[in-house]
Structure 1
């Protein structure tokens, strides 16, 4: 049964920016719970406490949406690791974990569907039905466990994104539909990004926008064009990496020695919490409605973004106080803090 939250997703959008947090897969890979390459969230079954802990860290940092860790938890990807027999168990468990932690802080719970690698625009009818079946089974279990919305993300094809939205509408769920803007100007099925987003807005998505691939520098100009083209609420969840006009997507970043940085040598092109805070302020000025961070993001990024929006979070109790540092702070500052 779908669980009503104290304040619905649409009501929160009306009230102001909704802050979310993603990047679960990359963060759990860094912590040793997900295998880079297949990136299947086996951790949901193998180490559920690690998932709970990351949910809690994002919640404490200011995220208002706990995203069920079902990214790549679809039939085709689970076959790659020999666990397609645990498909339902993994999906249900992921939503249960998200619900458990969301209840600790009044957060919303989002079901999650993503690019399937099954869609082929040269054969859209046959492959589209394969995609539709995968989305239907994932969301049927998510709805039974209780979700407030769906995030349909990292879409490379307009055709696949449209199927995702249609399935969300079958379940009467508000949908955030985001594109991964890997190519400089258009989706893999040939739509300019502004047109792609507008098509999904016209089809009834609650929120449309971008996630993954682009860092703040290369996402912001595209967000400005999207904002100018639609009145529908828009989403922005960049990766915290130093993309450039010459290399707009992090999948193509290289290191000085020519090695590929993506996906497991990205540390040297990472952005600081301050740069994500600056992105949050600039995105708010543009008129972004759903804001967050994607692959590579951590709780410190989310807290910095929340504080840049003028919010105090549970984790703000431990925000830096460099005046108390034994080298960087002064004795006078330390005494003032002690006395007060």
Structure 2
């Protein structure tokens, strides 16, 4: 039998591949802006391949791509009739891919997320959010996921509602916050306080995902690690956020020579602002050294980036066989059989 999430956490770091949203837009199967994962129905093979690529790059988890596949988003795009089929299909495709893992069947996680509907001053919005989570988690239970990932919450209370609905179905919960530029959750809680409270209420893993790159997420991960007894997760975006621009929503690109069709580089002009894989490895080492247990990367991440994180924390991916090895490179290699007239040219290339 495959090990549970709890068992894997007890044995060492767990890797969770995320970032499907930007990756599938980059591959041409998802619309930027609305960001609704219709790919599960429109191009299931494209979604399966994306799941597969992240799993073989080191992910222990195939996360069902139902981010934004909630009733409010489907209402906005006028496709509420596709809500349940989309959710169930995304989970079923994830289960098919998880069984392909050549060493140990991957875990399958259901996914719920920020609704953009929650309003702390409006009790009706809270009830609507609860109903949305309840139906999605019910489908997760019926499709037999291993746990549910609740992510990118910027209100503590919304995250708590998510946790409660996951617990009603008897499923383990991973709950992570997306911290915006105010540096506190939008209902006034510090992110470390929110994580501590969720842990006390029974979440298996708590932490942060999305919005922030390693440089501006890690200081808060350190606070969470100090505050929380139990498993801590960290899944930053792979962009060079800074103290002045702590999230990717307002990252400037001073080198851009054209006018952008969007107000900011987010979401379709972030390309020059990537961290390279070695910066991500440096972050992963720092996070591992302070005791982070659940690792990943969020929007913008590629499988090769995730593999670098996995290898840095001591994991070997199925596709680690394709990790960089420059020994045979015609200019920069060190192999004795390389043509010397080419390797001597490397400083002039």
What is the TM-score of this pair, normalised by structure 1? Answer: 0.94
Question: Residue 151 of structure 2 aligns to a residue in which SS?
Answer: strand
Secondary structure at 1:332's aligned position in 2? coil
Paired residues of 1:23 and 1:297 also in contact (CA < 8 A): yes
CA separation in 2, counterparts of 1:331 and 1:118?
59
Q: Which residue of 2 aligns with 1:266?
A: 270
Q: 1:331 offset after TM fit, Å? A: 4.9
Distance in 2 of aligned mates of 1:318 and 1:156: 37
How many residues were matched structurally?
330
- Structure 1 segments unaligned to the other structure (5+ residues): 336-340
Name the CA distance, whole Å, in 1 between partners of 2:320 and 2:238.
Answer: 20
> Are residues 1:204 and 2:228 paired?
no
- Counterpart in the other structure of 1:229: 227
Q: Summarize the alignment of residues 293-312 of structure 1 with structure 2, pairs less than 5 Å apart.
A: 293-312=297-316
Q: Which residue of 2 aligns with 1:112?
A: 111
Q: Distance in 1 between matches of 2:338 and 2:185?
A: 54
Q: Alpha carbons of 1:8 and 1:29: their partners in 2 closer, same or farther (altered >3 Å)?
A: same
Contact 1:323 1:333 in 2 (8 A): no
Q: Distance in 2 between matches of 1:185 and 1:101?
A: 37
Deviation at 1:278, TM superposition (A): 1.4
Report if aligned partners of 2:235, 2:296 keep a CA contact under 8 Å in 1. yes
Decide which of 220, 237, 251 is 1:239's aligned counterpart: 237
- Whether contact under 8 Å (1:216, 1:238) holds in the other structure is yes
Distance 2:138 2:54 in 1: 26
CA distance in 1, matches of 2:26, 2:132: 28
Q: CA deviation at 1:311?
A: 2.3
Cross-structure match for 1:286? 290
Measured on the aligned residues, the alpha-carbon RMSD in Å equals 1.4
Q: Mapping of 1:176-215 within 5 angstroms?
A: 176-215=174-213
Query: What's the counterpart of residue 128 of structure 2?
Result: 130
Structure 1 327/91 Cα, relative in aligned 2: closer, same or farther at 3 Å?
A: same
Name the structure 1 match of 2:347: none
CA positional deviation for 1:46: 0.2
Q: Is the 8 A contact 1:184 1:248 kept in 2?
A: no
Query: Deviation at 1:280?
Result: 1.3
Q: Would you say the 8 A contact 2:140–2:148 is kept in 1?
A: no
Q: Tell me the distance in 1 between the aligned counterparts of 2:203 and 2:165.
A: 11
- CA–CA distance in structure 1, aligned partners of residues 180 and 107 of structure 2: 29
User: How far apart are the structure 2 equivalents of 1:209 and 1:92?
Assistant: 27
Structure-2 residue corresponding to 1:79: 75
- Secondary structure in 1 matching 2:207: strand
- Partner of residue 319 from structure 1, selected from 306, 320, 323: 323
Question: Equivalent residue for 1:249?
Answer: 247
Q: Give the direction of change, closer, same or farther, for the CA distance of 1:272–1:333 in structure 2 (3 Å limit).
A: farther
Deviation, structure 1 residue 232: 2.0
Task: Answer whether contact 1:165 1:175 (CA < 8 A) is retained.
Answer: yes
Match of 2:9 among 10, 13, 32: 13
Pairwise CA distance, 1:325: 0.8
Counterpart of 2:345 in structure 1 is none
Aligned to 2:142: 144
After TM superposition, the runs of 4+ consecutive aligned structure 1 residues lying more than 2 A away are none
1:38 aligns with 2:34: yes
Q: Determine the C-alpha separation between the residues in 2 that align with 1:332 and 1:309.
A: 32
